[in-house]
Every structure is written in C-alpha cells, then in structure tokens.
Chain A
Amino acid sequence: MTGLVAYVRVFLTFARNSLVRDMTFRSNFMIESISSLSWMLMNLGFYVLIFSYTQNIGQGTDAWDKYQFFVFISTTMFVNSLVQAFFMPNAEEFSELIRTGGLDFALLKPIDTQFLISLHRVSWSSLSNFGFAVLLMAYALTHLDYTPSWFQVLAYPFYVLLGVAIMYSLMISLAATSIWLGRNQSLYNFWFYITNFSRYPMEIYRGPLGTPLRHFFTYLIPVLVVINVPARLLAKPLLPDYGYLALFALAATLASLVASRWIFTQALLSYRSASS
C-alpha cells in the first residue's frame, strides 16, 4: 500500500513538473492547444457534413444517428486526449532513449522502469481536446432520444479508462520493439493506421472482407472495443446481446496489459547500452 502511495506521489510530481515546463512556454502551450482543437473541429465538421446528407450511419438496430454518433466522437476524443496527454510523448521518447543509451538512467532508478518510462512526461495541452469532448458530449446527450440510466453513466468512465489501457498496451508494446529494431519510425505510422480502424462503429465492418477484419481487430488486436464499447454503452439502450462485448472488453484489457508487460520486460532483457 505504501508502495502504491509512493507511486501516486511520484506521478503527481511528474505531472507538476510537466505543467511547470508547459507554463514556461505559455504561447507554445496555447498554440498547441488551439491547433489540436482545430483538428478536432475539422473532424467534427466532416461528420456534420455527412449528417447533412444522411440521417444515420449504418442500418437497422446497428444504425448510429447524428447525436449517437456525436457520443461516439466524444468518446474517441476522450480516449485519444488521455492517451496523447499521458502516454504518447513518453512512448515517442522511449525509442530515442534506446537509440541514445539514455535508458541506462531509467534502469538505474529505484522505481519500476515501465512506470517511469510510460508516465514521466504529461502533455497538458492535449487535454484541451478533453474539455471540448465534455462540451460535445453534453450537447449530444441532451439531444439523444432516450435518457441513459445511472448504471450506464457510471460504467461509461470505467470503460473509457479500459479503452485507454488497451491503447496504452498497444503503444508501449510497439515502442518496446524499438529495443530489438534500433529505431521504429514506421511502427509509429503503423500505430496510427491500426488505431484508425477504432475510430468508426464496428458495425460498418461487414461483408466478406469486413467481417474477418472486424473479428481481427476485436479479438486479436482489440482496438475496436476501445471506443465502441463505452460509446455504445452510453449512446444506445442496454441490450443483453451487448453484455458479452462489455465482458469481453474487460478480459481484453487485462490480457492487453499482461501481454504488453511481458513484451516490455522481454525487450528490456535484450537492451544493450549504447552510451558507454
């Protein structure tokens, strides 16, 4: 327990230091926040445009109407902004640490290396999208056809965090492979392309190519459950059919975290210092 408290305190110190650093370059912070917000607005603009031509995306019970889809987009923004704020800058730095030999310093510190590598920098400007997502979510919820139950509202943030954990596992696993490869620029592109699949409702992947693709990105690399499970939980009435997916998301998160921990420790065993 004291160990956990110590880790929380270390994390708070990281967060404070990052905030001090960000506030030292205030204009840069503002520009970063505004540009990531504009990116979100443009993405939203694209969907507003689509919904000016159609009522739904998808058919029948699988259809997402405009406001349900806004819940989906807000969920994407929540997950992405959390991943970008807490893990993305660290994963990017990780491969540089390996290349330059700076990882030696992290290994010498009396703290779990994965924790230190994953969380030592927080990009506060990425959280501006989180704020925007809250507004969009509030707007969408007030326009939904039905009112979600208290259970749905309580389970939602939990499932968003599970989604973040799955994304984190994928990211840290890819970053760890740079120990074996030396450098993995194209693997980062690979990460963006894979997560691109998670940004749409899973029902759109159907047909002879879509169904195997949906199964692959649900059961093997579970990026499709990241956004779909929490978004569906809040945007649509609870149906028992979807219960299995919610249970699966729980299992998939645990499996992803365990697998990424294993990959990380295996990769560390192969680390050869580059500096000395």
Chain B
Amino acid sequence: MTAHILTWWTILRICLEERLVYRGDFALGTLMRFMPIVTQIFLWTAIFAAAGQTEIAGYTRDNFVAYYLLTMVSRAFSSMPSLASGIALQIRNGEIKKFLIQPIDMIGFLLLSRIAHKLVYYAVAWAPFALVFFLCRSFFTHGWPAPEILAAYVGSLVMAFLLGFFLESLIGMIGFWFLEVSSLLFVYMLFNFFFSGHMFPLDMLPAPWDTVVQLIPLQYLAYFPAAVFLGKIQGPELVQGLCVQAGWVIALIVANRVAFACGVRRYSGYGG
C-alpha cells in the first residue's frame, strides 16, 4: 500500500515539476484569455440599452458579466487541452504499450498528471484570476453566496473537472477503433462551446433546446457551477443537479473502464 502511494506521489511530483517550467507563459496566457470578456461587457451594455429593460431572461447586465467571469472559472476546471488527442496519438504511435507492460493504470496515471497540470495552473493562474475578479467585483451585485451554496459550488467545480476529464479521455480512447479522432474532437469542442453555456446562460434557450441541454452532460462543464454561484439554482433543484452531475461522472468512469478494456483487447502493437 505504502509503495503504491509512493509511486503515485512520485508521478504527481514529476508532473508538477514538468509543468512549472512555463509559469510566465501561463500567467500571461491566462490574463489574455479574459480579453473577450471586455467585448462581452460592451455588447451586453448595448443590448440592455436597446432593450430598455433591467432584466433579460432573469439576468441583469451585471449578472451576465458575472456569469461570463464564472464560466471562465468553470472552464479552468473542466477544459482538458490535448488530453483526447494525446491518448489517440499514444494509441497510434504505439506508446500506449508502456501501460500494458508496466504495472501502472493508464487512466489513473493520466488523471494524476492532469491533476498536477491543474494544480500548477491554479498555483500560477490564481493571480490573474484574482486581479480580474477584483477589478470586476462590482458586477457581483449579491456579493459572496451563503456558505452552503459556496460548498455546492466547489463540489460542482470538482465534478466539472472529473466530468471534463472522463469525457475527453473517452473520446481519446475511440482512437482504439478509429486511430484519428481530431475531427471528432473538433465536433465535440464545437458542441461543448455552445452547450456547456460558455457562450450564454443556457436558461435563455427556448424549447426544445432547453430540453436538449438537460439531457446531455455538457451543461455541467460551465453553466451549472456558474448558475449555482449566482443563486440561479437553489434548494431541491440544486441537490438534484449535483446528484445528476455525480451520476454522469460515475457513468463516464464506467464507460472509460469498459472502453479501455475493450480497446486493449483490440489493440495490436508491433516492433519495439
């Protein structure tokens, strides 16, 4: 058991050190990522000025800006750059063999290295995030939410991370069957951008689209945590949402295990 923990700890430490090499680039890149928010502020100000209302779909202008800022936090948890393409590449070039002969579980290894990736990201990115949120604090008209809401928010963020990870790794493992997943990944990213709520709050959608977003797990990657923080989802609805999100995580873990087991049976490695 101790040896096992020691192995995983070593993996985590190596990944952390690897990631810290590019910290300057990270910080600058994170700050730049907020630039589209600037245009969103102006766009929504112009929309509200034209509409002559203080609320659109239950959101004030400040709510909209706060929402966009919060989806940036959600995405910082749920986005998994180059995870799926990395898995597919390892399948294609045969590198995946190392997981078949070493006593290391591939999904576990990837999860740990992704945790390391994220920890380093937050260690560096908290500064630009804090700066932007401090500058934009006036958009959060209700201030901090109640402690139980905050706890639910943190829980939904952690699950958003797990959901994002297992969704992308599942797409990567489709590589066992198709070898090349880049076009599939592009389609996923496209749907993800629209249906995760990164573009606008999903409760703005009319029927039948509002039902569609309820049926797929993408809303839990960006919209759900942000809506929880803003108090849009409360009481039994909140508990139900968290349970459904947890259900999706478990279902995807099972799907990942099945895909890996079937994929490995199908996989053939040649040469050294």
| A interface residues, Cβ below 8 angstroms from B | 28, 31-32, 35, 38-39, 42, 45-46, 49-50, 52-59, 63, 186, 189-190, 193, 196-197, 199-201, 203-207, 210, 213
Contacts and interface: CB of A to CB of B under 8 A. Distances in A.
A52 B200 CA distance: 14
Q: Is the interface of B mostly helix, strand, loop or mixed?
A: helix
A193 to B, nearest CB: 4
A56 B36 CA distance: 21
B205 A49 contact: yes
Contact of A57 (B36, B38, B39, B43): B43
Contacts of A207: 45
Given A193-B36, A196-B35, A200-B42, A31 B183 contact: yes
B81 interface: no
B49 A53 contact: no
Given A42-B190, A46-B199, A204 B36 contact: no
Interface string B23-47: 0010011001001101100110111
A180 to B, nearest CB: 17
Nearest to A201: B46
Given A54-B47, A193-B36, A35 B205 contact: no
Given A35-B183, A55-B51, A206-B42, 12 more contacts: A50-B200, A53-B51, A54-B47, A59-B49, A63-B50, A193-B32, A193-B35, A196-B39, A197-B39, A203-B46, A204-B46, A205-B42
A204 B194 contact: no
Given A54-B56, A200-B42, A186 B29 contact: yes
Contacts of A39: 190
Interface residues of B, number: 29
A173 to B, nearest CB: 18
A36 B56 CA distance: 30
Contact of A210 (B32, B36, B42, B183): B42
User: Which 8 A-B residue pairs are closest in the complex by CB-CB distance?
Assistant: A54-B51, A56-B50, A204-B46, A193-B35, A204-B42, A31-B183, A42-B194, A58-B46
B29 A50 contact: no
A204 B50 contact: no
B206 interface: yes
24 contacts: A31-B183, A35-B187, A35-B190, A38-B187, A42-B194, A42-B199, A45-B194, A46-B199, A53-B51, A53-B204, A54-B47, A55-B50, A57-B47, A58-B46, A58-B49, A59-B46, A59-B49, A189-B32, A196-B35, A200-B43, A203-B46, A204-B45, A205-B42, A210-B42
